[in-house]
Chains A and B, each alone.
Chain A
Amino acid sequence: MSTAPAAATPKKSKTARAKLPTTLIVTLVPVCVALNIVGGYIASALRLPVYLDMIGTAISAIVLGPWWGALVGVLTNTGSALISGPVSLPFAIVNVVGALLWGYGVRSWGLGRTIPKFFLLNVIVAVACTIVAAPIIVLVFGGATGNGADALTGTFLAVGQNLVGSVFSSNILTSLADKIIGGFVALAIIEALPKSLTADIDIVKATPLKGILLAVAGIVIGVLIVVVFLAITAGSGS
């Protein structure tokens, strides 16, 4: 669409990012929100064991800025509250934390410059999201999430880990796979976006997903060994 810069001209402002017109942001935010919700739907249609429902958050946080990403996060959970009930509302905080980390990570801390750095950023996002999500899962759902990971939570409980620890341990595994794969899918999408949107973002070129999947498998197995070890230690200690 070569006509976009014409729309941009009347709304010039002093900041570098404000060259994106308000109307573009006002439309990009709901598109990213809808993509978050549809992303989760696509992941289940492709029968993937991950959610991939924060890709819109990652894209908006990296392209528009962390706080726009946070708005996308809040609207995602508000929107899904209107679709599937209000129980998803508290998880808006998880979405906001993810958005701020992705946004500041790429735009301020330079964690998007190389593939290893971007990988590390996604690991940080995954851990932070789990730290925020685990207490919410315990308080609102008593530790249940309704997917296969609950069996793992039950196993950790059976060996003597406490409830928050068990939820954290099983959630970190799904979260790592989800955020790392989601982050790299977002990277591939950002690369394919019009240059007018991504010109001033310092981010590495996307890489084939196969290598990333192997790395994800490695890290998930590694973390699984650690959390099982911790659960057994906690069980024998109590």
Chain B
Amino acid sequence: MTMTTALPIAMIPGDSVIHRINPIAKLVWVVGYIVLAFSTQNIFILASMAVFAFLLGIVAGVLKPLLKAMIILVPIGSSLLALQIIAPAVERPWTLAGSIGPLSLYGDGLYYGFVLLGRVVASLIIALVMVMTTHPSDLFTSLAKLKMPYTLNFMLAMTLQLIPVFQREFGVIMSAQKSRGMKGTGFSAVLPSFVPVFVGAIERVQQLSISLESRGFGSDGHKTSYRQVRVRVRDWIIGGLGAVLIVGLSVYSIIRGTWSLSGEIVFSGAFVTTLFAIAALTFFGFIAFTIIYGFTRK
């Protein structure tokens, strides 16, 4: 089992202007993006948000890992569009745009599919840009300054540190089991791989617990951090600007009843049918590729 397919977790080191922004200011943007994305149904706003977040990614110099991490959107995005075209998650009446075999295709569904996809894409890109440009310790130091409970902060930080450790351990255990003749795939491999990884990990807890105890975990007093995070005027401006823009647009959208443009934008029947065919083919193609790749890979 190769360990090259690690989770796209790591921060990409760099010194771009995005890297230097305070983590909290970035967090304001991420939270704001999610709030705005879910309070509007205006595809132009959603598309601009996605494009802007993408541009931030380019400025930060994380374009390549960003694109790599976005591959997960291919199956879910294509399936989302295809399902929405045949069954819009909005109230009836729906406008019929065409049909393929027994399936009726709806234009409203395509609009709403774009809305849902826009939300997912925009919030995913901004969150990935933030994760890729922020050192986890800086984020947790900043959260501690915001009075986030120390224990909770500690648990979240420790989780992120443990994931690669356990992944590595799984690789070692799989190699050991395979050298004993175990099959590397399928249900027969579940217990021989899960049990040693999990039990080993939980047994390690006792050592970790003792080392925490010996360092006086939970004691009162001022906690210091090796990494210092400064808040500059620039960070206040960026955070404030983000908050104002996003709150403003969200409130305006809500006043206009989610600002949906599904009435104004009418897709032609041919467009809806073609897009449905492309989305369905992409989805099945991706699934087929994963299955074939999975079975042929050694």
A79-B195 contact in complex given A7-B210, A150-B283, A154-B82, C-beta closer than 8 Å: no
Is B102 located at the chain interface by the 8 A CB criterion?
A: yes
Q: Count of B residues near A, CB < 8 Å?
A: 80
A86-B127 contact in complex given A7-B210, A151-B287, C-beta closer than 8 Å: yes
Residues of chain A lying within 8 A (CB to CB) of residue B103? 158
- Contact indicator B8/A38 (Cβ below 8 Å): no
Is B41 located at the chain interface by the 8 A CB criterion?
A: no
Minimum CB–CB distance for A124 against chain B, Å: 22
- Contact indicator B155/A81 (Cβ below 8 Å): no
Q: Count of A residues near B, CB < 8 Å?
A: 71
- Contact indicator B202/A38 (Cβ below 8 Å): no
- Contact indicator B83/A142 (Cβ below 8 Å): yes
Is A225 located at the chain interface by the 8 A CB criterion?
A: no
Listed stretches B183-191, B230-238, B244-252; interface member: B183-191
A209-B79 contact in complex given A7-B213, A45-B1, A193-B199, C-beta closer than 8 Å: no
Q: Which of B83, B193, B218 contacts A154 (CB 8 A)?
A: B83
Distance of A194 Cα from B203 Cα, bound (Å)? 7
Is A227 located at the chain interface by the 8 A CB criterion?
A: no
Is B194 located at the chain interface by the 8 A CB criterion?
A: yes
- Contact indicator B287/A148 (Cβ below 8 Å): yes
- Contact indicator B160/A79 (Cβ below 8 Å): yes
Minimum CB–CB distance for B26 against chain A, Å: 12
A55-B198 contact in complex given A4-B210, A28-B205, C-beta closer than 8 Å: yes
- Contact indicator B206/A30 (Cβ below 8 Å): no
Interface centre among A27, A81, A141 (most CB of B within 10 A): A27
Is B40 located at the chain interface by the 8 A CB criterion?
A: no
Distance of A150 Cα from B82 Cα, bound (Å)? 10
Minimum CB–CB distance for B113 against chain A, Å: 6
Minimum CB–CB distance for A88 against chain B, Å: 10
Distance of A189 Cα from B201 Cα, bound (Å)? 11
- Contact indicator A24/B190 (Cβ below 8 Å): no
Distance of A46 Cα from B208 Cα, bound (Å)? 29
Task: List residues of A (125-177) whose CB comes within 8 Å of B's CBs.
Answer: 138-148, 150-151, 153-154, 157-158, 162-163, 166
Closest to A154 in B: B83
1/0 per position for B11-28, CB-CB distance to A under 8 A? 000000000000000000
17 contacts between A and B (CB under 8 A): A21-B213, A26-B218, A27-B209, A28-B202, A28-B205, A35-B201, A39-B198, A75-B155, A75-B159, A81-B127, A83-B9, A83-B131, A84-B124, A144-B76, A148-B287, A163-B89, A181-B190
The 5 tightest CB contacts between A and B, nearest first, are: A146-B76, A85-B124, A34-B162, A144-B80, A144-B79
Binding site for A on B (CB under 8 A): 1, 5, 7-9, 30, 34, 69, 72, 75-77, 79-80, 82-84, 86-87, 89, 102-103, 112-113, 116, 119-120, 123-124, 127-128, 131, 136, 151, 154-156, 158-160, 162-163, 165-167, 170, 174, 184-187, 189-191, 193-195, 197-199, 201-210, 212-213, 217-218, 280, 283-284, 287, 294-295
